[in-house]
Every structure is written in structure tokens, then in C-alpha cells.
Chains A and B, each alone.
Chain A
Amino acid sequence: MQRETRIAHYVVGVLTTLSLVLLSMPLSSPVRSFKTCASYIFDPLAFEGERGYQRLAQAPSRARELLSADIENRRLGEELRRLSWLKSSVESLSIENERLRRGLGLKTPPGRHPVWAHVMERDPLHWYASVAVDAGDDRGLSLNDPVLALSGESVVAVGRVVEVRERSSTVMLLTDQRSAAAAYLSSGTLEGLVQGQDAPHLRMNYINTEARIVPDDAVYTSPTSATFPPDVMIGRVARVYPRDPFLAFQAVEVSPALDSAALQEVLILRARAPSSQAAYPSAAGAGRAPAAVAKEAAAPLVPRRRRAPAAADETDASGAAAKTAVPAGTEAPDADAPEPAPEFTPEEAPQ
């Protein structure tokens, strides 16, 4: 005990002396240096402690901000998904609106009413032969109704209805080998018969042997066609086949205006009223007054260009139809015939 007391006396003496030295020294450079050293030693404790304290103090607010951000993130995610769906819906509606707008601008032949339908099925084994569409008896389709489609701003001929079911139909494409349509070349108004080849291109037969065929000439449906309205574009002349000395006509290869593989929607000109008109309103009549629809229906699809030659008609290649196409040497159409209706082929109008 005495020893500890003695040590305590020594220690207190030393420490007191040291302290008094520190106190007696003015706050000159040595003292400041010492204090700076002490601050360097002790300040990290205060500095880091302050940082730690700040972090702890901010933890509740940060947790609250994190929760708010999470909630906001979820809300924005849902909003983004909703907007994405809305965008796709708007785009789809825009496309449909454009299609219907163009469809409303069409003038149909007397007694014909346009019906839009979607291509819903193709037969891989008969790619160029036929397609199935989602309109049938319920929308008033019947056999041999002409089937058109939009290619850019033009309406082009696609085929005709060959089978009608309750809610779907089969459309035989022009590229089908059994298909044929009366047509004419715009440059010389030469009549012929466009026939399918079961291939992407078509063949136009029965062109006058004396005719001078211009390459890239446009091919339109003829007024003599019993199926298609007149002046509907079919395609363009791709090349002229070498003349066969045993045939009394020329033939050309026609490139269709619309690749049938790209066909998605078709415009069918139905002749009779649908079995369920209210459930499937036609494009022309959708949302319009019945009187307006009736008035439009009465308007012609195109102005009558010329008188249709008697007995001119399409036929199946199978020969099932009784009538044949315009044969070679048939009277050429009038040279001063009026131009086709701009609603169909504004830029493809024959000269």
C-alpha cells in the first residue's frame, strides 16, 4: 500500500508537472504542434464517430426513402406495362383506323358491300393456291365473291371465294393454277387472260400477236371479268415469253402487285346481306347511318369505262366454267376509255 502511494505521488508529480508545462507554454508553435498531433490522434474518433452517427441518424429516413422508392418503382413498372400495352393497342388501332378509313373511301359496285377479313390459315403444301379467312356465311360471303387487298394505296386483285363456311371461307388466289381472270394491259389496253402457275408469278395468255408489249406494263382486271370489278390492278409485266409458232397469241409473265405470302387482310366484295349483320358490320357500314350505307352502296365502284364484251368471263383452268376468257383477236377496248377510279389505283391508272 505504501509502495502504491509512493508511486501515486511520483506519478501525480510528473503528470502535474507535464500539465503545468503545457499550461504555462503559450499557444505558440510547439504547443500548437502538440495539439495538432493530439488532434490527429483523437480527431478520427470524432470524425468517424460523426459519420457513423450521421449514418445511424439517417437510417430511418433512408429506409423510408427506400420503401418509397420501391413503391414508386412498382407503380412506375405497372404504369410502364400499362403504357406499353396502350401503345401497342394504339398502334394496332391506328393501323386498323387507316385501313378502315381507306376502306370507307372505296366505292363498291352496285349490289356489292366490302367486308374486311383476316387471313387466318395457309396450306403449306399449296402456298400459292389458297388461304382461309375469318369471314364466312355469317358475314354474307358467297361463292365467287371477288377478293381484293390493299397494296400501299392501291387495291389489287387477290382471288375469289371458292368455299364458304359458317365463320370462315377459302379464297382461291390468282396464283392458283386453276385460277384465271380477264385482264388488260394498260399501255395498249390489250385484253388477255391472267392464269395462275402455282408459283409467285402469273401468266397472261391470249394477247394479240401483233401487239407491242411494253415492259413493266400494268395489268388490270378487265370489265369483261365476271368476278372482279374492272380496273383493279393485278400486277406488272415481268417479261414476255418467246413466241410459240404453234400458238396464235402472245403470253407474258406477270408479277403480282401483292405477294400472296404477304397477305394479311383482304377486302371481300360480298353480294348478299350477312346472316348476322349486327355482329359483323362491314367496314363501309361500321358506325354509319343505314341511309348513308345504302347511298354508298348504290354508288358505283368505278365509272363504267366501256361496254363489256359479251361472253367474256374467267374460268378455272380445270375447265369447270362454261365460259372462256377473251380469245386472241378479240376486239380491243376503246382507246379513249376514261381512267380508272382513283380510289383504287391513283398512281397505276392506265393511260
Chain B
Amino acid sequence: MRLLRGTALFLAAMFAQWWWNTHLSYWGAAPQILFTLTIVVAARRGPVAAMLVGYVWGLYADSLRADLFGADALLYALAGYAAGMVRRQMDLRAVGPLVATVFLFSLAYSLFLGVLGQIFLKSFVWVGTIPFLASPFLNAGVAVAGALAWDLGDS
């Protein structure tokens, strides 16, 4: 039952990511739900689970884009790993540290994506100003909602 629920949530998160990007994206700004949830998983379950889940979600995100196949998988896995490491230094179960982590990691994601583009495509992949500025806030909101939902599910 737990596995079934986990699988359903796993697929639901992928669907939510696609649906939001497709229908609720304004000026290119949309929350990176899978990326944020990878961090939430790392905060609750540790880095290994977060990296595995994030890697698959990353491949899914890569399949939806035309360039840099593997970049999202790498960045999601690294985000899970880094969040797992941060988890050892601070309590990411609390909302404040989680929001701060997500906020910073979101900014880092955009920058690392550009760097990967510079390395492998010879051009900096810029997500856009508005998405770059808006995504951290949107991701923070998703993180709060995800954490609350996780807590409700556990209780």
C-alpha cells in the first residue's frame, strides 16, 4: 500500500509538473515541482532516495525539452545529494530552513543549467529573467505545500 501510494504520488508529481508548465505558466515562470520535491524528499528521506527519485524525474524533465539531455537528471540528482548533505547540518524538516534551501537551490539550478549549456552546447542556457527571479519564490511555495502534505500524510 505504501509502495502503491508512493508510485501514485511519483506519477502525480510528474503530471503536475507537466500540467503546470503547459497551462499555468505565465511569462515562462512556473514552479519546478519535481526539483522542489526532490529537495523535500532529501529533507525527509535522505540523499539516496532523493537522488534516485530526482534522477528519474530529471530524465522525465529532459525528455520534455529539446536540448541538453541529461542536464535536469544531473541537477536533480545533485540537488538531492546536496540537500541530503545540508540535512546533516540543519533541520530541513522545519519550514524556514527548507524554504531557504529551496530558494537558494533554485537560483543555483538556473545558474548551473546555464553553465552546463556553456560546456556542452557552447552557449549559456539562460532560463529568462522572469523565470529566474520568479522560480525561487514559486518553488518555495511548492516546498511549503509539499512539506505540509507530507506531514499530513505521515500523521
4 closest A-B pairs by beta carbon, nearest first, are A22-B70, A19-B74, A38-B63, A15-B77
Report A-chain residues with C-beta under 8 Å of the C-beta of B51: 8, 11-12, 15
Cβ contact within 8 Å between B69 and A27? yes
Q: Determine how close the nearest CB of chain A comes to the CB of B75; give it in whole angstroms.
A: 8
Report A-chain residues with C-beta under 8 Å of the C-beta of B46: 4, 8
Which A residue's beta carbon lies closest to that of B22?
Answer: A50
Cβ contact within 8 Å between A19 and B63? no
Chain B, interface residues (CB within 8 Å), range: 20 to 34
The listed residue (A16, A27, A34) touching B74 by CB distance below 8 A is A16
Does A246 sit at the interface, judged by CB under 8 A? no
Give Cα A326 to B54, complex, Å.
Answer: 123
The listed residue (A12, A21, A31, A45) touching B14 by CB distance below 8 A is A45
Inter-chain contact count A-B, CB under 8 Å?
88
Which B residues fall within an 8 A CB radius of A? 11, 14-15, 18-19, 22-23, 46-48, 51-52, 55, 58-60, 62-64, 68-71, 73-74, 77-78, 81, 84-85, 88, 116, 119-120
The listed residue (B14, B18, B48, B73) touching A19 by CB distance below 8 A is B73
Report A-chain residues with C-beta under 8 Å of the C-beta of B58: 19
A8-B81, A12-B51, A23-B116 known; A39 vs B14 contact (CB < 8 Å): no
Cβ contact within 8 Å between B77 and A23? no
Cβ contact within 8 Å between A38 and B74? no
Complex interface residues of chain A between 69 and 126 (CB less than 8 A to chain B): none
The listed residue (B14, B71, B81, B84) touching A42 by CB distance below 8 A is B14
The listed residue (A11, A16, A21, A49) touching B19 by CB distance below 8 A is A49
Q: Determine how close the nearest CB of chain A comes to the CB of B82; give it in whole angstroms.
A: 9
Which A residue's beta carbon lies closest to that of B81?
Answer: A12
The listed residue (A4, A16, A41) touching B78 by CB distance below 8 A is A16
- Determine the main DSSP class of A at the interface with B: helix
Which B residue's beta carbon lies closest to that of A7?
Answer: B48
Which A residue's beta carbon lies closest to that of B23?
Answer: A53
Give Cα A53 to B130, complex, Å.
Answer: 27
Report A-chain residues with C-beta under 8 Å of the C-beta of B22: 46, 50
Report B-chain residues with C-beta under 8 Å of the C-beta of A29: none
A sample of 15 cross-chain residue pairs with beta-carbon separation below 8 angstroms, ordered by A number, consists of: A8-B48, A8-B51, A11-B77, A12-B51, A19-B58, A22-B62, A22-B70, A22-B73, A23-B74, A27-B69, A31-B69, A35-B62, A35-B69, A38-B60, A41-B63
Give Cα A46 to B61, complex, Å.
Answer: 11
Which A residue's beta carbon lies closest to that of B51?
Answer: A11
A23-B120, A45-B15, A49-B18 known; A11 vs B69 contact (CB < 8 Å): no
A23-B120, A35-B62 known; A8 vs B68 contact (CB < 8 Å): no
